[in-house]
Amino acid sequence: MKLKVIQAAFIVTLISLATVMPLAYAEDREELSFEMWTLDWDTISVDAGDVIEQMLRQIGIRMKAIPMSDEVLYDNLDLEHTYEVYQMSHGYSPYPGHLYSRFHSDEIMDYGGNNPGWSNAEFDSLIDQANAETDFDTRKELLWEAQELLAEDLPYIPLFTSDDVHAIRKEWTGYTCMPGGIFNWYNRLTTINLQHEDQEYGADFVMAYPSYIRYYNPIMGTDGRSALVVSMVYDDLVTYDADMNIAPWLAESWTISADGLTVTFNLVEDAKWHDDEPLTAEDVKFTIDYYIDNDVPYDTALMNRIDSVETDGDYTVIVHMKEPYAWVLDDFEDVPILPEHIWNDKEWDWPVHPDMMPIGSGPFKWDSYVDGEWIKLVANEDFWMEGKPHLGTYTVRVISESSARYLAISTGEADSERYELDTGFIETTSADPNLAPLEDTWCVGMWDYVISFNQRTDPALQDPVVKKAIAYAIDRQELVDIARLGYGTATETFIPPQFFGPAYENPDATTYEYNVFLANQMLDAAGYLDIDADGIREMPAPEEEEEEEEVVAPETIEELQTAIENFSTTLSETRGQMTLLESEVEALGARLNSSLNMAYGIAAVALIVALVAVYYAMKS
């Protein structure tokens, strides 16, 4: 009994000490010291984090790299928004829609894509204009302008892409290197042209997957694993060429009216479904109507902007838009055309399996499978494109463990694998005589690593000077060399032309070349000085509050106009702050809710334990 009392007293003391200690040690001036979260299972993120920590020490900033599990990290990005800095990869889609999804203030919400919570009214309006601009060059100018705003304030700093290098047996040829890799779901050129060096047609290809595909259903098969299979079995209206320009596919040509409100697709004439039904404009119309009528939650940006669809003959589809949409073709690249005669009575989340095999119109047909283990696709003999595809069969095989996958490819049990090589296998692969040289498979990757600053937590991270100094102090090429053994591409801009195609090259873009001296000077000039000489800079001394400007009534029309303009700027800024505030309130509410839920859960457990205890007490 006595012992327990002593124990309890000890614990109480400890807890109270732990609460009080930080208060006792609080300093007058905050240090430039941050926690940078990295993703624990991603060696690239963890290694790059350690290197960045070292690099920033040179400019007196402590950026502590802390590997986090993805559950904790993503929960924080989605709901809690309390992190300070993170460094990991996001992943590009084939067109630069990420400027909207990562930085527009509409995306500041639970589960929203704007993780830093960055809000800028001018940027929002530029992106809104760009999203409604169907002329490529005008749109590009708008995006460049928006990119300049980002470069000024740096909510995140683009670092590098981890590039796609593949283990593929050397007897295979005909694959196309495209940003995102030789085996990516939008790389249809590889799908139709891949062939064995000794066998132009009919060779058998085995692709190793780390796990089974999630969906047989083409609407939902958007994750990397399912999407590749879906893109081989189903056709889309358009596709991408090797430079990431939109290219014809099921639609051999198209026109977009000058006002952007009418899009006309002319289909190829000899397309057939795998069950020999002809594929006509009616199927395309059906697909679009199906998405709209069933409120399918995929490709909503496109579908919400479509007013109606009509057909003109069997091979012309006319799409009427409610408003012009910049990425209309890019988004159609993601919409699998569905056979009306099969889907007309199905729900959108119809599991497809096990009722029947998926019927599409693509270069490969569904042949057989064992759920959870493998899928065999065979070449579609009646494919509308002359002489394609070259392969005879394409087998997807699950090999869960990465070393087992490498062994399988090396011995020839598999020919390649779905994803790029883990950094740990790069050396072994490049020395393996059975595999193609890595230089032949090296494409710019879709996984873009960034260092992102939460704009809601530390005030130092809202100061552009600090972020610019950080940008100057990071040697991106060295990050690539260490974290990805050189198989990466340093990115300087928010729309890197290395990925999105040479058309996005901007010679005037603001970039931050590695320059530690300049970074130090900037921080010195802005008053971030190391006052206690511990190697870490402190925040500048708080400024005296400025006196408020006197308001003078405007006397001339010009003065009035300036006043109005100033006012409207202030107004839009206020609006931005409002959205930020709203999102914070919502986040707070959500946190309250989840802690309530947690409390309920614990209460329930306690109740059960209590009941059991009472039961046993009564029994004895």
Partner 1 sequence: MGFKEYVGKRTLHGAVTIFLAVTLNFILFRIMPGDPTRAVSGDPRVDTATRLALIARFGLDRPLFEQYFIYLYNLLRGELGISFVQIGRPVIDIILGRKMINTIILMGSSMFIAFILGIVVGVFAAWRRGTRIDISFIVLSLATYSMPVFWFGMLLLLFFSYYIHIFPIAGTITPGLVHPNFIAYAKDYLHHLMAPMITLGVSFFGGYFLFMRDTILDVFTEDYMLTARAKGLPNKMILFKHAMRNALLPMVSLMGVHVTFLISGATMTETVFSWDGLGRLIYDSVRNNDYPVLQGIFLFMAVLVVVASILADVTNAFLDPRIKEAVD
DSSP state of 237: S
Among 40, 57, 62, 74, binds partner 1 (CB under 8 A): 74
Nearer to partner 1, 588 or 605 (CB): 605
Residues in 560-599 at the binding interface with partner 1, rule: CB under 8 A: 593, 597-598
Between 146 and 185, how does the x/- string for binding to partner 1 read (CB under 8 A)?
Answer: ----------------------------------------
At CA 472, angle to CA 471 and CA 477, rounded to 5? 85
* Residue 109 in the binding site for partner 1 (CB under 8 A): yes
Residues in binding contact with partner 1, number by CB under 8 A: 66
Between 597 and 616, how does the x/- string for binding to partner 1 read (CB under 8 A)?
Answer: xx-xx--xx--x--------
According to DSSP H, which parts of 37-187 are helical?
43-57, 70-75, 98-103, 121-131, 136-153
Residue 16 tokens read as 């109270």
Residue 600 CB, nearest distance to partner 1 (Å)?
6
- Would you give the distance in Å from CA 81 to the centre of its chain? 18
Amino acid in position 337: I
Collapsing DSSP to helix, strand or coil, 546 comes out as: coil
CA distance 320 to 260: 9
* Residue 495 in the binding site for partner 1 (CB under 8 A): no
CA distance 533 to 62: 14
Among 43, 173, 176, 222, binds partner 1 (CB under 8 A): 222
Collapsing DSSP to helix, strand or coil, 447 comes out as: strand
* Residue 224 in the binding site for partner 1 (CB under 8 A): yes
Among 26, 345, 372, 387, binds partner 1 (CB under 8 A): 372
Residue 105 CB, nearest distance to partner 1 (Å)?
13
* Residue 108 in the binding site for partner 1 (CB under 8 A): no
Closest to 390 (Cα-Cα) out of 589, 226, 192, 239: 192
Could you identify the residue written with the tokens 């490049």?
430
* Residue 69 in the binding site for partner 1 (CB under 8 A): yes
Nearer to partner 1, 132 or 404 (CB): 404
User: Measuring CA to CA, how many Å separate 193 from each of 3, 388, 401?
Assistant: 77, 7, 29
DSSP state of 333: T
Of 124-132, 180-188, 312-320, 363-371, the window that binds partner 1 (rule: CB under 8 A) is 363-371
Residues in 37-56 at the binding interface with partner 1, rule: CB under 8 A: none
Residues in 378-397 at the binding interface with partner 1, rule: CB under 8 A: 393, 395, 397
Of 209-217, 468-476, 544-552, 576-584, the window that binds partner 1 (rule: CB under 8 A) is 209-217
Full DSSP string of 495-517: S-HHHH-GGG--TT-------HH
Establish whether the linkage from the previous residue to 354 is cis, with ω within 30° of 0: yes
* Residue 7 in the binding site for partner 1 (CB under 8 A): no
Collapsing DSSP to helix, strand or coil, 454 comes out as: coil
Nearer to partner 1, 90 or 341 (CB): 90
E-strand ranges in 268-384 read 306-311, 316-321, 364-370, 374-379
Nearer to partner 1, 109 or 531 (CB): 109
Among 350, 514, 515, 584, binds partner 1 (CB under 8 A): 350
Pairing type for strands 204-209 and 416-417 reads parallel
* Residue 82 in the binding site for partner 1 (CB under 8 A): no
User: What's the half-sphere exposure (Cβ side, CA atoms, 13 Å) at 50?
Assistant: 9
- Would you give the distance in Å from CA 225 to the centre of its chain? 15
Residue 570 CB, nearest distance to partner 1 (Å)?
29
* Residue 419 in the binding site for partner 1 (CB under 8 A): no
CA distance 92 to 85: 20
Among 93, 311, 316, 515, binds partner 1 (CB under 8 A): 93
Residues in 280-309 at the binding interface with partner 1, rule: CB under 8 A: 295, 297-298, 300-301
Nearer to partner 1, 30 or 582 (CB): 582
User: Measuring CA to CA, how many Å separate 530 from each of 62, 409, 443, 541?
Assistant: 12, 55, 44, 12
Q: Which residues bind partner 1 (CB under 8 A)?
A: 69-72, 74-75, 78-79, 90-91, 93, 101, 107, 109, 111-113, 204, 206, 211-212, 214-215, 217, 220, 222-224, 295, 297-298, 300-301, 349-351, 353, 368, 370-374, 376, 393, 395, 397-401, 403-404, 407-408, 410-411, 413, 593, 597-598, 600-601, 604-605, 608
